Amino acid sequence: MTPERAAVRIVETRLNRPVHSIRRFQTGLCHYTYDVVTGDNRPVVVRMAQPGNETIAEGAVYWSKRLRPEGVPLPELLAYDLTRQKFPYAYLLLERLPGQDLGDVYPDLSADQRRQLAREVVRIQGMVNRLPAGPGYGYATGYQAKLKASWQEVVQAELDRSRLHLAQAGVFNSKVIEQVQSRLSRFEPYFASVPATPFLDDTTTKNVIISEGRLSGIVDVDVVCFGDPLFVIALTRMALLSRDYNPDYIDFWCEQLNLGEIQRQVLTFYTALFCVNFMSEIGQKFNREDPLAADAAQVARLYRVLAELLAALDAAR
């Protein structure tokens, strides 16, 4: 059974409705995700874990049940089955939130709309931040997860993963990793002071759904990260820079948090870390049929962004 056929059968079986249309979302690395409209025009989403990624689906169920009662605007979980007994995939059947990913509408938003969105995302992250601290550091499908002993280990693991992927793809000069690695030690005292604060790690230019200029909700929460909430701001900043978008949204986000100088330097370091992460994804296949193409303009842009971030770090010393 193909993934698309499985998604159709899941909707037909669990909702007892025929499928009018189905299309696959192109984002995501570990799931087959489909946008489905039933015969009576009900929009739903089917997320199916690729074999070997069932734990991630378990995390999505866990965090939906934990976060929705706290007021976090996740889509309603309509049905799920993690056993693979009836279908070849562990799956979640979800409410389809109206709107599009932030990255798809970002240039059309006014500065005031971006500012309001920053306020709303900070409010939602605050709900998550107030949950109990984690049992360790890193990405967790629940509070029973085995995590790292320090935040610095999480940061180093991101660099190590990018190092491996860069070597595999061979698109960028591997020295870019060492340029970031060499600046890590100056932030070791900061990393040692970071508590295991829970935060949503992927509320970036994707997973933040916008409808008519306003936040509709947050999707694809498979894990919660325990550590430094600045991480997700840096990832969002890098996502905007990679598309050559005006990053004023990040300025509004930082204003809401009233960041100090060392936090702003750490944010720049994290952004450089994610820049090499973006570099490492070019040339990788992941769950796509073809590898992510090495577009010359994008390669040049990422080299430029990294150089500017490193220069900003050095100027702040």
List pLDDT tens digits, range 26-72.
765 568 899 999 999 999 999 998 887 888 899 999 999 999 999 99
The band of 272, judged by pLDDT with boundaries at 50, 70 and 90, is very high
Please name the fold of domain 3-95: Phosphorylase Kinase; domain 1 (3.30.200)
Query: CB under 8 Å to 61, separation ≥6 — which residues?
Result: 77, 80, 82, 92
- Residue 288 confidence (pLDDT) above 80: no
CA nearest 76: which of 92, 56, 99?
92
127 pLDDT above the threshold of 90? yes
Residue 182: its pLDDT value, please? 96
Range 86-103 average pLDDT: 94
pLDDT at 212 over 60: yes
Q: What is the pLDDT of residue 174?
A: 86
| 3-state SS, residue 77 | strand
pLDDT of residue 24: 93
Nearest to 239 by CA among 203, 198, 289, 212: 203
User: Taking CA 93 as the corner, what is the angle to CA 68 and CA 14, rounded to the nearest 5 degrees?
Assistant: 125
Tell me, what's the pLDDT at 29?
59
Model confidence at 286: pLDDT above 80: no
CATH of 100-315, picked from 3.30.1600.10, 3.90.1200.10, 3.30.450.40, 3.90.1150.10, is 3.90.1200.10
Per-residue pLDDT band for 171 (boundaries 50, 70, 90) equals confident
pLDDT at 94: 97
Domain boundaries, the chain: 3-95, 100-315
Whether 85 and 219 have beta carbons less than 8 Å apart is answered as no
Residue 292 has pLDDT above 70, yes or no: no
pLDDT score, position 69: 96
- 171-182: average pLDDT: 93
pLDDT value, residue 269: 98
The Cα 172–Cα 234 span in angstroms is 21
What's the pLDDT at 170?
Answer: 80
Give the whole-angstrom CA distance, residue 303 versus residue 172.
9
Is the confidence at residue 134, as pLDDT, over 70?
Answer: yes
Cα separation values, 113 from 109, 152, 236, 238, Å: 6, 35, 17, 20
- pLDDT for 4-28, tens place per residue? 999 999 999 999 999 999 999 876 5
Task: Dig out the tokens for 284 from the structure.
Answer: 């990788």
